[in-house]
Structures are given as C-alpha cells and as structure tokens.
C-alpha cells in the first residue's frame, strides 16, 4: 500500500493574519494506495477549490508516495511536513502507519482527523478526531439488526480479528440457552470454496460476512457455487462500502442480503458531490465521504476561530517541546461549534458531525439497506442511531412488506415434505389404466390443507415423501436431525405438513405455524369382548348355594306348615257349614296345599288358602318376610346382572395404568409422545416411563399401525399411548377400539418450516382464516368420519340402546316352555288316569271311555259335566274278547 503525502502549503510561515489578505494554510493529508484513491484526490481538490473560492484561504497540494510497510519513512515524512507549518493532519487509512502519525499529532497538539475504524483509538487524546462510527456503535447496530431479524443461530465469516470487536455487543446480548454462534475465518483467498463447503455442511441459514468490500463479491460468487446463496439464506455485510459495489450479476438473487452505510446517495449533498466529481452518487465510498467531511469540519472550525482571534501557524519540530498553541481551541470549537456556524462546503456527506469528549464521533445515523431481488441496487429499510441503540427505525411499513410478500408468494411453488400416515397422507389407488404423477399420487388431510392455504395465498405446492419416513428426532451422537426436521434443515423442502407435533426441541431447530389441530396424548385400548349370555342367565343374580338353600328352605317350611297346621286346632274346620255339630272335622293343609302356599309367597303371587291358627300364621309370616327379602334382592340384582355383557373397563385413566402391572403399555418409539414421558417431571408419568423403558419384551412400536395391531391382538393385555386425533381416527373404523380417559397433555399439530421463514405470518393468517370459517372442522369431519370407512362405529353406537336382548332373557322362555311342557304331561297323565277309573267304574272298555272323554273335551261349548252318566251302549262280548 502506497501513501500519498499531499502537503498543501501556503508560503510565508510566521505571517500575521489580516482581514484583507489571502491566508496561507498547510494541511497534511495521508491517503491509502488503492483504486479508490483517485476519486478521493478529486474530492479533495474539489473541496479545496470551493474553500479557495468562498474564503480568503489559499490552498496548494503536493503528493508524496509512501509504502504501507514503510512505518519509519512515514514517521520521517510527517516530521518533515510539520516543519513547514501544518494546521491539521488528515488520515492515513492504514492502522499501522496511523500509530506513528497519531503519536506525532498528539505530541505537537496538531488537529488530527481520522477517517477509518480505529479499534486502538487512545482515549483522552486532546487533538484526535475520528469521524468513522465507533466500534461500539457498529457493534450495537449489528447486534440490534441480528436481534430484530430473530437470528437464534448464525455463522460469522470473518477476514481478520477486528471482526470480534464489531461483534462484541452482539455476543454480549446472547442468553445462556441460545444456540452457539459459529466463527469461520475466510483465509487468504482467492479460493474460499473449502471453508464455504464446511459452512454449507453446518446447515446454518444466516451469516454475517465481515470482510473488505473488494472481496465481498468474490466470496458471494463462490458461495453461490456451493449452494450457499439459495432461498431462505440471509447475509449481513458489515463493510460500509458494500452498497457501492457493482451488484448487476446478482439481480434476481433469492437470498436476503443486508448491509450498513453512512452515505445516502439520494441526499442533496451526495447528489451535488456526484455532479462535481463526475461520478454516480451510489459509488461514493465512505472513506472519500469522511475525508470530505473532515476537511469541511476543520476549515469551518478554523474560520470560526479566526473570526475571534488572530491565528499564527509556525513550523514545529518532532524533536522540540513546542506545540501548536491553537490546537485546544480548535478542538473545543469542533466539539461544540457556535450556534450560527455554517459549514463552508455544501453539507456533510455522512450527516451532521458530533464528537464526544474523547474525540470519537457520536450520534451518527447508520442506514440499513437490503439488496433488491427483482431490481438493481439497494433500498433503505431502516435507520439506526446511538441515541436509541436497541431499536431500528424502519422505513418500510408493515403494509408495504405484506404486499411484497404477497407478490412473492404468488410466484412461489412450495416444496412440501410429508410422510405416509392415514388420514393425513395416503397413496391413491390408481384406477384401471391410469397412472398418477406429482400431487395426484397422494390424498388426505394434509393435501386438502395445503390446497386450502394455497387457495387463500394464491400459490402452488409440490408434495414429496421423506425417505426415512420419520417425523424428526435429534441424534446427540451424530449431532443431526432425521425425518421431516432433517429434511427441512438440509433445505430440501420448504414446508413439512403431516401430524407433526410442535415440541420445544423441534421449535429450537425450525419454525412452526399456528396449530391447525389441537390434541393431547390419550390411551388406546380394546373394548371388552362380549361374552354370549348363558341360557339360564336369569339365575345369575343368586349363587348356586343360595338357590340350593332356598329350595331346601322351601321344602322344610312346607313340611313345618303341614305339621303345625295338623297340631293347631284352629286349622281343623267343619266340612258342612250347615251342620253345627259335625261328626268329623276337615284339615285342608295337606302337603300339596302347603307347598302351593309357600311357592305362591316366594313368587309374590299369593294363595287363596290361608292359615287360621296363630302358630301357622307365625310360620307363614316368617316365610313371607324371607320371601320379601329374597325376591327384592333378586329383582334389584337382575337388571345389573342381565347387562353384564356391557362390562366396565378395567382401566379408566393413566393413573390406573401406572398403578397396575398386568396390562402393559407403550408408545411410538422416538415420537413426541415418547419425549413427553421421557422428559416429564410429573411423578405418575415418570413412573410410567420407567415401566415402559424396563419392560421386556419392548412395549415401544415403530409405527402407529403396529401399535393399533398390538392392542387388537393382545386380548386386553396391552394399551397404546398415542395422540387423541389418531385414536379418534382408528376408533371410527375399528369398533373394537376405544379411547380410555381424557387427554394427558395438550399440544398441537403445526406446519414446520425453516427458521425465520419469511412467509410464516401469511401462513398463520391463512390458518386462522380457515379456523374462523370452519374449514378446518370440515376437513377433519371429511377425513375422519366420511372418507375410507369413517363413521362406521358412530352409527353402531347410536343404534345400540340400553335394552335386554333375547339372549339375556331367553332362559325365562325356556323355563316357561319347560313348565308348560311338564303341565301338559301331567295333564295327560291325569286325563288317562281319570279315563281308566271311569272305565272300571262304568264297566266299559278303556277305548270307549277314552273316546267318550275326548269327544267331551274337544267340545268347547260344553260348560257342564254330569257326575252320573247315562247308560253307555252295550258292547258286543266278542268285541271285548278281541280287546
């Protein structure tokens, strides 16, 4: 790096300033040797020309080249210059040479204006002014921008160690739980691809690029080659001259690129300078602008001081103890200019200049600009000022941002990754002769959800399946995510749509929309198997022992009543009521009547025969009380026993599961349900996790269908913990399944997207609109209760009523049939016995008597039967012999 020593000397050192004569000034200006020095030289010459035209100061410039490494030569040069009589020193741009020059200016108290970021600026230097934004200001501005952009994780790509100073405030504001910031040093170049490839493998999306403006475009070119300049990538450039580069080759880039600048090319001062220097105001470098403002600041302060007193500038020596006697006065005027003071040059390119007590510039407006994607150039998005260091004053309103996003979304085709899992996503069965491609290959709730969202946002989408079929879990050993989350982090998709639960761990890696479905963990269990009722199920309310005891009691009580009635005189009655002095008394309480009385009592039917004696009544009353208790108990238990087919569940909640060890229970391995039990602090759920983890064989399943199958085949010895929505879907189609208890927790399904997804707000608004319009309920009702056999079990449950079936009371009909059958048999026996007696008494054949009685029995109109019969027809003896 060469240095140009411009000694602008006005001959006649030691002359006294007079009002009517041109005053000569010596100004020492040090410039860096780069391609922009020529523009700076033009700016200096133009500034000095304006000063000469507007004031009585005469300026002469001389250029002396210096090498950047020639620190000793720079010291000799500055000492030679001050011996000619120097009013002020400007520059240099090299931090190494600056230390020598700053040391000389401080010793001699010559005003020294610096125009570069000096991290080694010595405090309390009386004659040093630094117009460049301070390290604290730049660091605070960068920290605020990172915070406003909500960058939780990012990579710093730096060129030298000064970057650590610029990032100091940003690192201070980070919390202990925030993800670590990665630092990557670019190296010497020009090939940055090796380090960029390493950065690519880190899966970071946000980058702070801290390097010289001359290297920015080349770094970004190579970043584009290694796929680090894609959609959802974001860059913050720290160099204040990044906006002045030629960005024509990056028109249409999808990456967000932001930077800082202190020169507004649209300001009146910049436009005027562009015309005078014959350049585009957009290409004005900050160093050139700061040098211009430094000259303007000094000459204005010098003029204000000269109006108050005479100023004599004499030669100084680096070896003497003499100093510039007006240095402190100029310093005070620069720090606090008069109220009516107006700058000599037309305005400041970097805005009003103010200094703190140490000579460091303060209160500077730093513009935040971003590269426009569809057009060439940058636009201002906000302004940062040290007076309010934790906030950015945005120039673009939220309405303007939303309109821009709406236009971008309309041109966007979102890559959606999902996994097969009914009813969220299923493979369509092709009709005969048809082959499906693209989105037509799938159907389900997720497809309809994206269709409704894109109908609102006017965008398009393409579905694809995640290769490993997993939701997404972090592997601490491999330090990477799998499944849907890993697919998003690898930037292979924009969105992940399925039954993906929003968890804390996943939220740290990716962003989620507002939940489109709320749910919780519940228990899937098999319904109790309906046992076929027994034929004599009506006997169930009482045990066999009770039935035997009742039968024995029935016989014993009948015998007791028989004996007591024979002993009790009151139960011996006059058979002829008209005869007051009968010769015989009659007792109606034979064994048959006693059994009938006790049987009628226990059947709650009563009897026409009633005891009359006190003792027999006491026995009968005791039996009636016993019958009342037994009949009421039987009736009370009958309804519950006949509905025992509707068995109660053996478990009703998670607490019941945790309190027993006969029924095993598990969940999906590696899912959100598994994470809930693993990380919970609740004692019951922690106990359940310990039991699940220690179970042998394992109770975890790889997929939800496997868990459902295990529940069905385990004969009520296994329960599966899964999301309530999936339980609802399965129980709608398999009536042997049921959800036990309520929800253990509360969570939601959301659409996953990469961190800081710029369209997240639009998707949230679309989901809220669908929720308010009832679209989400319609979609759920469609895929849960209408499609693919849904609603089957709901119809069966609604058709079932709490009534007894024939199977439950069939035994009563059997008893009735048996009683009728026995009655008919006894009736036939009694009839035949009567016919036989009649045949003997009437001296007729059995056949004749049978025919005669049958003929009378089938004559239903005959209501009276004669006791004494008419003579029967005489039967031929030969007929009798034959018989």
Structural domain includes residue 742: no
- Sheet with 413-418: strands ordered across: 460-465, 413-418, 495-496, 752-753, 511-512
Q: Say whether both 189 and 318 belong to one domain.
A: no
How, if at all, do strands 718-723 and 517-519 pair? unpaired
- In three-state secondary structure terms, 478 is coil
For residues 172-200, average pLDDT: 81
Q: For residue range 674-723, what is the model confidence (pLDDT) as tens digits?
A: 888 988 888 899 999 999 988 888 999 988 889 999 999 988 889 999 88
What's the CA gap between 845 and 825, in Å, rounded? 23
Q: What are phi and psi of 205, to 5 degrees?
A: -110, -15
What's the CA gap between 536 and 269, in Å, rounded? 108
User: What proportions of the chain, in percent to the nearest 5, are helix, strand and coil?
Assistant: 45, 15, 40
* Cα dihedral 69, 71, 76, 82 in deg (nearest 10): 110
Structural domain includes residue 687: no
pLDDT of residue 349: 92
Q: Are 156 and 163 in contact (CB under 8 A)?
A: yes
Structural domain includes residue 674: no
Place of tokens 């990456």: 255
pLDDT of residue 243: 92
The sign of the torsion formed by the CA atoms of 400, 262, 302, 55 equals negative
- Please report, in range form, the residues annotated as the binding site: 501, 506, 672-673, 723
pLDDT surpassing 50 at residue 9? no
CATH number of the domain within which 230 lies: 3.40.50.2300
User: What average pLDDT is seen over the chain?
Assistant: 81
Residues in the chain: 883
Paired strand residues for 234: 206, 256
Structural domain includes residue 228: yes
pLDDT of residue 860: 64
Q: For residue range 557-610, what is the model confidence (pLDDT) as tens digits?
A: 888 878 877 777 777 777 777 777 777 777 788 888 888 888 888 787 777 778
Q: Say whether both 126 and 141 belong to one domain.
A: no
Residue after which a domain boundary falls, among 717, 751, 786:
786
CATH number of the domain within which 508 lies: 3.40.190.10
Taking every pair of C-alpha atoms in the chain, what is the biggest distance, in angstroms? 190
Q: How many CB atoms lie within 10 A of CB 748?
A: 16
pLDDT of residue 708: 92
What's the CA gap between 441 and 423, in Å, rounded? 15
How, if at all, do strands 664-667 and 718-723 pair? parallel
Q: What is the DSSP string of 628-666?
A: HHHHHHHHHHHHHHHTTTSPPPS--SHHHHHT-SSSEEE
Structural domain includes residue 217: yes
Q: What are phi and psi of 524, to 5 degrees?
A: -95, 125
- Asked whether the bond before 423 is cis by omega within 30 degrees of 0, the reply is yes
Grade residue 835 by pLDDT with cuts at 50, 70 and 90: confident
Task: Find, among 144, 219, 147, the residue nearest to 188 by Cα.
Answer: 219
Q: For residue range 88-106, what is the model confidence (pLDDT) as tens digits?
A: 888 887 777 888 888 888 8
Q: Name the DSSP letter for residue 784.
A: I
Task: Find, among 498, 517, 529, 525, the residue nearest to 721 by Cα.
Answer: 525
Lookup: tokens for 570 = 């009151």
pLDDT of residue 12: 33
Q: Say whether both 829 and 841 belong to one domain.
A: yes
Grade residue 35 by pLDDT with cuts at 50, 70 and 90: low
pLDDT of residue 873: 54
Q: Are 793 and 731 in contact (CB under 8 A)?
A: yes
Residues whose CB falls within 8 Å of the CB of residue 22, separated by 6 or more in sequence, listed in order: 56, 57, 58
Interaxial angle between packed helices 37-54 and 268-277, expressed in degrees from 0 to 180 and rounded to the nearest 10: 100
Q: How many CB atoms lie within 10 A of CB 878?
A: 8
| Domain total of the chain | 5
Lookup: tokens for 171 = 């690192």
Structural domain includes residue 654: no
What's the CA gap between 727 and 525, in Å, rounded? 9
Grade residue 799 by pLDDT with cuts at 50, 70 and 90: very low
* Cα dihedral 8, 14, 16, 17 in deg (nearest 10): 20
Comparing 566 with 526, the larger pLDDT belongs to 526
Q: Say whether both 160 and 28 belong to one domain.
A: no
What's the CA gap between 211 and 239, in Å, rounded? 7
What's the CA gap between 293 and 271, in Å, rounded? 15
Ramachandran class of 278: left when φ > 0, alpha when ψ lies in -120 to 50, beta otherwise: left
Q: Are 353 and 124 in contact (CB under 8 A)?
A: no
Q: For residue range 292-334, what is the model confidence (pLDDT) as tens digits?
A: 999 999 888 888 888 888 888 888 888 887 888 888 888 888 8
Q: What is the DSSP string of 541-564?
A: TS-HHHHHHHHHHHHHHHHHHHHH
Q: Say whether both 129 and 140 belong to one domain.
A: no
- The mean-pLDDT minimum among 42-56, 495-509, 637-651, 705-719 falls in 637-651
Lookup: tokens for 838 = 């009649």
Task: Find, among 663, 658, 662, 664, the residue nearest to 683 by Cα.
Answer: 658
Lookup: tokens for 414 = 């979102």
What's the CA gap between 712 and 181, in Å, rounded? 50
What's the CA gap between 389 and 203, in Å, rounded? 31
Q: Say whether both 197 and 289 belong to one domain.
A: no
What's the CA gap between 602 and 625, in Å, rounded? 9
- The mean-pLDDT minimum among 207-211, 276-280, 301-305, 612-616 falls in 612-616
Distances (CA, A) of 609 to 572, 592, 596, 603, 612: 13, 11, 9, 15, 10
Domain of 636?
A: 537-574+587-642
What's the CA gap between 636 and 161, in Å, rounded? 90
Report, in angstroms and rounded to the nearest whole number, the Rg of the chain calculated over CA atoms.
53
What's the CA gap between 752 and 471, in Å, rounded? 11
Question: C-alpha angle 219/220/226, rounded to 5°?
Answer: 95
Lookup: tokens for 133 = 């934004």
For residues 786-812, average pLDDT: 60
pLDDT of residue 217: 93
pLDDT of residue 173: 63
Q: Are 33 and 331 in contact (CB under 8 A)?
A: no
- In three-state secondary structure terms, 393 is strand
CATH number of the domain within which 598 lies: 1.10.287.70
What's the CA gap between 744 and 519, in Å, rounded? 10
Task: Find, among 41, 30, 32, the residue nearest to 2 by Cα.
Answer: 32
Q: Say whether both 556 and 445 belong to one domain.
A: no
pLDDT of residue 1: 31
What's the CA gap between 466 and 565, in Å, rounded? 93
Q: Say whether both 214 and 120 belong to one domain.
A: no
Q: Say whether both 126 and 67 belong to one domain.
A: yes
For residues 417-423, average pLDDT: 91
Q: Say whether both 101 and 8 belong to one domain.
A: yes
Q: Say whether both 129 and 144 belong to one domain.
A: no
- Please report, in range form, the residues annotated as the binding site for L-glutamate: 501, 506, 672-673, 723
Comparing 777 with 397, the larger pLDDT belongs to 777
Q: Are 216 and 237 in contact (CB under 8 A)?
A: yes
CA 491 to mean position of chain CA atoms: 19
* Cα dihedral 767, 769, 772, 777 in deg (nearest 10): -50
For residues 661-673, average pLDDT: 87
Structural domain includes residue 263: yes
What's the CA gap between 145 and 160, in Å, rounded? 22
Q: Say whether both 208 and 156 belong to one domain.
A: yes
For residues 378-404, average pLDDT: 86
Structural domain includes residue 35: yes
């Amino acid at each position: 790096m060469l240095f140009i020593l411009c000694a602008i000397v006005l001959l006649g050192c030691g002359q006294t300033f007079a009002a009517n004569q041109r005053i000569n000034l010596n100004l020492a200006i040090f410039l860096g040797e780069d391609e922009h020095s020529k523009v700076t030289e033009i700016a200096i010459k133009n500034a000095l020309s304006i000063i000469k035209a507007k004031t009585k100061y005469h300026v002469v410039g001389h250029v002396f080249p210096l090498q950047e490494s020639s620190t000793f030569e720079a010291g000799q040069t500055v000492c030679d210059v001050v011996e000619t009589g120097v009013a002020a020193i400007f520059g240099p741009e090299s931090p190494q040479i600056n230390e020598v020059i700053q040391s000389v200016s401080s010793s001699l108290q010559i005003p020294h204006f610096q125009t570069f970021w000096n991290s080694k600026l010595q405090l309390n230097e009386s004659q040093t002014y630094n117009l460049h934004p301070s390290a604290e200001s730049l660091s605070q501005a960068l920290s605020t921008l990172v915070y406003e952009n909500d960058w939780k994780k990012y990579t710093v790509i730096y060129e030298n160690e000064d970057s650590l100073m610029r990032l100091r405030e940003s690192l201070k504001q980070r919390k202990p739980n925030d993800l670590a910031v990665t630092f990557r040093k670019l190296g010497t170049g020009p090939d940055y691809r090796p380090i960029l490839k390493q950065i690519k493998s880190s899966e970071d999306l946000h980058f702070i690029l801290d390097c010289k403006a001359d290297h920015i475009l080349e770094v970004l070119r190579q970043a584009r080659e290694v796929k680090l300049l894609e959609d959802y990538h974001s860059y913050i450039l720290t160099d204040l001259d990044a906006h002045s580069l030629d960005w024509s080759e990056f028109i249409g880039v999808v990456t967000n690129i932001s930077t800082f600048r202190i020169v507004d090319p649209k300001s009146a001062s910049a436009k005027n300078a562009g015309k005078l220097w014959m350049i585009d105001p957009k290409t004005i470098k900050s160093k050139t602008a700061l040098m211009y403002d430094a000259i303007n600041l000094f000459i204005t302060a010098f003029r204000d001081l000269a109006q108050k007193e005479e100023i004599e500038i004499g030669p100084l020596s680096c070896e003497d103890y003499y100093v510039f006697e007006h240095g402190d006065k100029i310093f005070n005027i620069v720090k606090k200019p008069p109220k009516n003071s107006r700058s000599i040059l037309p305005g400041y390119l970097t805005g009003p200049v103010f200094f703190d007590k140490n000579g460091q510039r303060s209160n500077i407006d730093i513009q935040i600009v971003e590269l426009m994607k569809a057009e060439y150039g940058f636009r201002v998005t906000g302004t940062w000022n040290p007076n309010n260091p934790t906030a950015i004053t945005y120039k673009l309103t939220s309405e303007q941002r939303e309109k821009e996003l709406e236009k971008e979304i309309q041109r966007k085709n979102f890559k959606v990754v999902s996994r097969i899992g009914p009813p969220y996503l299923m493979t369509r069965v092709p009709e005969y002769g048809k082959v499906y491609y693209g989105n037509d290959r799938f159907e389900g709730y997720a497809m309809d959800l994206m269709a409704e969202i894109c109908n609102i946002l006017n965008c398009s989408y393409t579905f694809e399946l995640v290769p490993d079929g997993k939701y997404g879990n972090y592997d601490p050993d491999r330090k990477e995510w799998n499944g849907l989350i890993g697919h998003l982090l690898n930037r292979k998709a924009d969105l992940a749509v399925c039954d993906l639960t929003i968890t804390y761990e996943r939220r740290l890696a990716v962003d989620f929309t507002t939940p489109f479905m709320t749910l919780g963990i519940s228990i899937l269990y098999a319904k109790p198997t309906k046992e076929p009722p027994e034929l004599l199920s009506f006997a169930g309310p009482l045990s066999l022992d009770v039935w035997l005891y009742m039968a024995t009691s029935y016989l014993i009580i009948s015998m007791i009543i028989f004996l007591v009635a024979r002993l009790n005189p009151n139960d011996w009655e006059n058979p002829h009521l008209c005869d007051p002095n009968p010769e015989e008394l009659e007792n109606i309480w034979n064994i048959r009547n006693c059994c009938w009385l006790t049987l009628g009592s226990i059947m709650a039917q009563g009897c026409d025969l009633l005891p009359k004696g006190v003792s027999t009544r006491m026995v009968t009353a005791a039996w009636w009380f016993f019958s009342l208790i037994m009949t009421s108990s039987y009736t009370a238990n009958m309804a519950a026993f006949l509905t025992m087919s509707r068995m109660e569940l053996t478990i009703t909640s998670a607490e019941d599961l945790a309190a027993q060890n006969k029924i095993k229970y598990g969940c999906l391995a590696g899912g959100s349900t598994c994470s809930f039990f693993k990380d919970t602090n609740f004692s019951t759920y922690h106990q359940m996790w310990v039991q699940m983890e220690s179970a042998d064989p394992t109770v975890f399943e790889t997929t939800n269908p496997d868990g459902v199958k295990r529940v069905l085949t385990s004969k009520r010895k296994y329960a599966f913990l899964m999301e309530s929505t999936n339980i609802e879907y399965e129980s709608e189609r398999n009536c042997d399944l049921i959800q036990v208890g309520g929800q253990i927790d509360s969570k939601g399904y959301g659409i996953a997207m990469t961190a800081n997804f710029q369209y997240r707000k639009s998707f949230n608004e679309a989901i809220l609109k669908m929720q308010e319009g009832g679209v989400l309920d319609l979609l759920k009702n469609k895929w849960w209760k209408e499609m693919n056999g849904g609603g089957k079990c709901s119809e069966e449950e609604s058709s079932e009523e709490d009534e007894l079936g024939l199977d439950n009371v069939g035994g009563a009909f059997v008893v009735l049939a048996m009683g009728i059958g026995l009655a008919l048999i006894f009736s036939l026996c009694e009839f035949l016995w009567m016919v036989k007696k009649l045949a003997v008494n009437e001296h007729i054949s059995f056949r004749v008597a049978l025919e005669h009685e049958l003929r009378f029995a089938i004559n239903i109109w005959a209501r009276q039967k004669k006791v004494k019969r008419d003579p029967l027809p005489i039967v031929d003896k030969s007929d009798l012999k034959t018989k």
